[in-house]
């Protein structure tokens, strides 16, 4: 990004916008998530080519992929929100409204943590996630009414990018799963179908016009697809956990406990949301 000029700074100041240089630094640092996710996916693909069921890969391989997916989802949300703000207000590129700054920073500050977890899992077969790390939860949305239009545009764009990766992962799982794990695959496929249905519904509501309503109700509907896509990404990465035990509970529910799969997979509280 070019250094903002004097008039750009003046316009940003009069509008109360904040310097986004910190956000662009986060974006540059987090770009490493893409080769990391590709490498994790190739590692599992190579294992399944050798005859290993996706439901039988070593737990650290699944954890690496789950953590890389979480980092990818957060990075994508932050990237798309910055891009949407630039497109909506090219006169103040390099500056963003305070609500956008806080939202993007909330995404980006979590990326480094998940990248670190993914790298550890990729190199340490005995790696353990901290208690409560999974299921991953997206940062809360800033409670602003009406929410900025670029936030909606960014959510739809991020959803499309996440859906492409999820569809590719599901296709691979279907091809690599042996007949003996058909029932487990069916449960994962059902979770994927639910997430895809929600995404398709919300995308069908979207119209690229500034008068499209952006209220708390529409925001709640828009939050569901990325949240479910993130949950499914965790499930598909660690299927030997997500496909066993009783139905997982929603994170944050009082008294929620990890399913029994958390013990044999040695993942602390690794209940994967099937919302």
- Position 102 scores a pLDDT of 92
Collect all residues with Cβ–Cβ distance below 8 Å to 268 and sequence separation of at least 6.
128, 129, 130, 131, 132, 133, 134, 258, 262
Tell me the mean pLDDT in the region 91-102.
90
Secondary element (H or E) of residue 103: helix 98-123
Find the range with the poorest average confidence among 125-134, 169-178, 203-212, 248-257. Answer: 248-257
- Position 214 scores a pLDDT of 53
CA atoms of 7 and 55, how far apart (whole Å): 57
């Amino acid at each position: 990004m070019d250094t903002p000029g004097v008039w750009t700074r003046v316009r940003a100041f009069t509008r109360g916008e904040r310097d986004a240089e910190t956000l662009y630094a986060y974006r540059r640092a987090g770009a490493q998530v893409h080769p990391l996710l590709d490498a994790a996916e190739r590692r599992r693909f190579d294992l399944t080519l050798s005859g290993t069921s996706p439901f039988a890969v070593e737990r650290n391989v699944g954890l690496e992929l789950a953590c890389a997916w979480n980092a990818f989802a957060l990075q994508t949300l932050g990237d798309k929100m910055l891009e949407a703000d630039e497109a909506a207000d090219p006169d103040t590129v390099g500056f963003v409204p305070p609500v956008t700054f806080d939202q993007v920073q909330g995404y980006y500050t979590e990326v480094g943590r998940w990248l670190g977890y993914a790298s550890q899992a990729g190199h340490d077969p005995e790696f353990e996630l901290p208690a409560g790390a999974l299921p991953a939860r997206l940062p809360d949305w800033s409670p602003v009414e009406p929410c900025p239009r670029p936030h909606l545009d960014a959510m739809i764009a991020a959803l499309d990018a996440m859906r492409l990766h999820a569809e590719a992962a599901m296709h691979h799982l279907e091809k690599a799963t042996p007949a003996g794990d058909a029932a487990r695959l069916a449960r994962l496929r059902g979770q994927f179908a639910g997430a895809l249905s929600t995404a398709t519904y919300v995308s069908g509501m979207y119209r690229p016009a500034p008068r499209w309503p952006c209220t708390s109700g529409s925001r709640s509907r828009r939050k569901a697809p990325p949240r479910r896509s993130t949950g499914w990404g965790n499930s598909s990465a660690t299927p030997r956990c997500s496909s066993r035990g009783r139905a997982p509970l929603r994170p944050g529910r009082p008294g929620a406990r990890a399913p029994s799969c958390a013990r044999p997979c040695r993942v602390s509280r690794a209940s994967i949301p099937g919302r």
